[in-house]
Amino acid sequence: MFILVLGGGVSGLSCGIRLAEAGHSVELWAREVSPHTTSDVAAAVWYPYRAGPQERVNAWAKRTYGVLQALGQEHPEAGILRVSGVEAFSAPVEDPWWRDSVPDFRRARPEELPPGFVDGYAFSAPVIEMPRYLPFLMARFQALGGRVVQREVRSLEEAWARAPVVVNCTGLGARALVGDESLYPIRGEVLRVEPPPVDRFIFADEADRIAYVIPRSRDCILGGTAEEGNASLEPDPREVDGILARTAGLLPPGTRVHVVEHKVGLRPGRPVVRVEAERVGGRTVVHDYGHGGAGVTLSWGCAEEVVALVEAHGR
**Cis before residue 195, ω within 30 degrees of 0?**
yes
Is residue 293 part of an annotated ligand binding site?
Answer: yes
- The answer on whether 294 is annotated among ligand-binding residues is yes
| Residue 229 among known ligand-binding residues | no
Inter-residue contact 79 to 136 (CB < 8 Å):
yes
Q: Pairing mode, if any, of strands 283-289 and 227-228? A: unpaired
How distant, in Å, are the alpha carbons of 7, 122, 155 from that of 125? Answer: 26, 10, 38
Closest to 269 in 3D by CA, of 171, 189, 190: 171
The burial class, CB within 10 Å (0-12 / 13-18 / 19+), for 23 is: exposed
Q: Is 39 annotated as a binding residue?
A: yes
Residue 121 annotated as binding? no
CA nearest neighbour of 114 among 26, 23, 200, 8: 200
Is 153 known as a binding-site position?
Answer: yes
**Structural domain count of the chain:** 1
The rounded distance, in Å, linking the Cα atoms of 221 and 239 is 14
Over the chain, what is the mean pLDDT? 94
d(C-alpha 146, C-alpha 16), whole Å: 7
Cβ neighbours of residue 162 under 8 Å, at least 6 residues apart?
A: 4, 27
Q: What is the CATH number of the domain that holds 21?
A: 3.40.50.720
CA pair distance 315, 312, nearest whole angstrom:
7
Could you tell me which residues come within 8 angstroms of residue 178 by beta carbon, excluding any fewer than 6 positions away?
156, 168, 285, 287
- Residue whose C-alpha is closest to residue 37's, from 295, 303, 302: 295
Mean pLDDT, to the nearest integer, of 109-127?
96
Q: Is 38 annotated as a binding residue?
A: yes
What type of residue sits at position 72?
G
Per-residue pLDDT, 42: 74
Stretch among 64-78, 128-142, 194-208 having the lowest mean pLDDT? 194-208
Element holding 135 (H helix, E strand) = helix 130-143
Domain hosting residue 48, numbered range: 2-313
- 292 known ligand binder: yes
How many Cβ atoms are within 10 Å of 179's Cβ, its own excluded? 8
Give the pLDDT mean for 36-48.
Answer: 81
Q: Does the pTM exceed 0.75?
A: yes
To the question of whether residue 267 is assigned a binding role by annotation, the answer is yes
Q: Tell me whether residue 295 is annotated as binding.
A: yes
pLDDT band at 36 (very low <50, low <70, confident <90, very high): low
| Confidence tier at 207 by pLDDT (50, 70, 90) | low
Does 72 score more than 90 pLDDT? Answer: yes
Compute the distance between CA of residue 141 and CA of residue 147 in angstroms, rounded to an integer. Answer: 8
8 A C-beta contact, residue 125 and residue 83: yes
202 — phi, psi (to 5°)?
-140, 125
Residue 25 annotated as lining a ligand binding site: no
Residue 179: C-alpha distances to residues 26, 154, 156, 173, 253 (Å): 25, 11, 11, 9, 50
CB 203 within 8 A of CB 88: yes
127 is in an annotated binding site: no
pLDDT of residue 224: 87
Q: How many residues does the chain have?
A: 315
